[in-house]
Structure 1
Amino acid sequence: MVRLSYDLEFLNECRRNNVIPIFLQFNVANQMLLYSNAYKKCQQILLKEEISLKKNKIKYLSKLKENAYNELVNNFPPNVITIINEIISALQIREQRTKYFTHHKKLNGLILKRNNQQQQRQYYRYTFFNTNFSNDTSNTTDNNNNKKEKLVWNLSSRKLNKEEINILEKGLTYNRASKLNHSQVISNVEYLFHRSSGVQKQAIDYKKWDEEPDNILKKELRILEPKQLSFATDLKNATQKFFHQANTSLKIRRNKNLNEKNEENVLSKLSKDSSILITKPDKGRGVVVLDRNEYISKLETILSDTQADSETNKTVFKHSNM
């Protein structure tokens, strides 16, 4: 909700300053159309439509948020609700800071770009009436700016098709509705239980559980008070409800969006290919595809060089002490 509200505020600021966000700027075959009034009107219509869609989405999510919050209030005691509110407020403050600085930076960049485009628009009008388009250097630079940024570097021997490249361009951290991370949810629920109930989290010796799983006496048991026990049962029921609703929503989303299934299949095929290694670049964003054997051999040479350097440094240090 915080992210959407700040995005809506950013779009309104763009409309007030007469600038168009980058995601609403589209390419055309004739570069002269970029400086026409028709192109500008199309962008303004798209911006207006985007603002209305954001408003409708905020209304829809606010209703869902209200229903979810009421369900939490009905299932959890007040002290847990206060802790949840504190966590949510801390996350919202962090999100507000990041969004404020990023939107401020984007808006300044768009205003600067708008001023440059106004100068270029005047220049293109002059060249249009003089019919001198071929030797225009600014047109070539504008073409270079409108080129698609390269996000996938294939340095391996495997040839990637267009579909694989398009999916990898979304990045390794792209949020796909594939599976629910049960362990992460359970760890968060445990953290909430220990923080709200006052029960200290103890280190569990899992070897005892593995050696004799049927012998309950040797296991580490925890005695809870009646309030803590009732709170634990309420928390368990709420977690089971959450798992049920999350799994049903994921199934509905998978059935609706067939493209995500295809993306999962393509990514699973790439991950099963043992000859390649998919990783992030050292600088910037994107995806790099490498040959696994070549990557391992280079790492081994780097490690051997560092070990040799350390041994030479030791010998030099010994001779200097002698």
Structure 2
Amino acid sequence: MSPSYRECQRRLLRAEIGFKYRDLRILKKNYIRHLDELKIYIPDNVFQHVSNYIINRSRAVLYVKEDNLQRKINSLRAGHRRAPRVDRNVVKNLSSRTLSHDETECLAHGLDYGLVPKNIDDMNIVSNIENFFQRITDISQHHRRMMSEVSDTDTVDGSDVRILDSKEMTLASNFRSITDSFRRQSYHFAQLQNRINTEQQKYRRLLQNLKNDKSIVVTRPDKGRGVVLLDKADYLSKMHSILNDITKFSFLSYDPTIARETKLIKLLNRLLDEGSISKEFNNLAKPFGSIPGRLYGLPKVHKEDVPLRPVVSAIKTFNYGLGKALSLLLSQFIEKTNMIRDSFSFVDELLALPKCMSQYKMVSFDIASLYTNVPLTETIDIILKHLYDGHAKPPTISREDMKELLDLATEKSHFLFNGQLYDQIDGVSMGNRNIPSNEPDPP
């Protein structure tokens, strides 16, 4: 542990102790003041009884507090930690594989459960610290300015080199010391846990066996929490039955990622030069290092025959940022009076209705494959008409360019499934941010 790290710990501890002593002094002062006031209004013998009662009562409360604190301290010690409660009912085994008791218990922890890694990713730790250091200083801004000047002149002036001042050098040195200490302790903790924690070893072995079984698929349900096991053959059959709809999907013999990314970048550059879009829109929508989407299916365990809901993981796709940018832009032109944020807001609105509405019945309809059945051409035409024919101040983007952006964000969406590329030619897929919503952006 580095001296800087220890000093930081000591300062935080001293500050916390100081706050506690301050509160204690205030409490004692108020206690004495109230006792003095009480002594004025009641006889001495009564005051003595009341004082003894307060002391005895406080002592009992203090003993309870001490016991609770001691139990907390004991629970933090190695060998005294409580085992997390595991509900095995969250595991739905719909495959032909028979799960053992240990495998069920392991899966019952959920898909978010993580084992202590065998190796520490030093490169990831160091890069995160460097990014954090750049954000809290102006180094990144200076670097961008310098690189833009270099691209114009192809030379670097010595006066343009950013030299860290003494405070930044001290900060960088402290970060280096803390990072090295964290890496050493993380490595030691990982090695210790993997050596002495038998549960970690057992779970790692069980998960490896499940991973090696290529006849099953382990996923989560469409709704709620839990883990679902399916036969891979059944899973692929249901997914291919969805992809065989030639009105919604088409087979691709090549990867169009680079071509579509280049087309979008050229369009955004032109719109930025023309002043049709802002720098913020351009930075959010411009892709780099794009990859195809990833299609997977979530089983609807609450329905008969367990159909699958197709979901596309669109992160890092060429039009993912464009979908977010268009969603923010179009949300400014959409009236949200008839939109409900979540189920809690829905209940609040129902409770706010007048009593006379209780004579009516509410019916809910379920739309099969809602997103994939959205008619794209008609929807885009409706959006354009609403933006440019129904508003006094339409967007700064021209109608033709807006149509091209919407086409790129919706119709030009390809993904990968089971090693094969597909194009979604109609409808939109779950996972894409191409539809304005009333939900906030994820952090």
**TM-score, with structure 2 as normaliser:** 0.32
Larger relative helix fraction: 1
Greater C-alpha Rg = 2
Larger relative strand fraction: 2
**TM-score, with structure 1 as normaliser:** 0.42
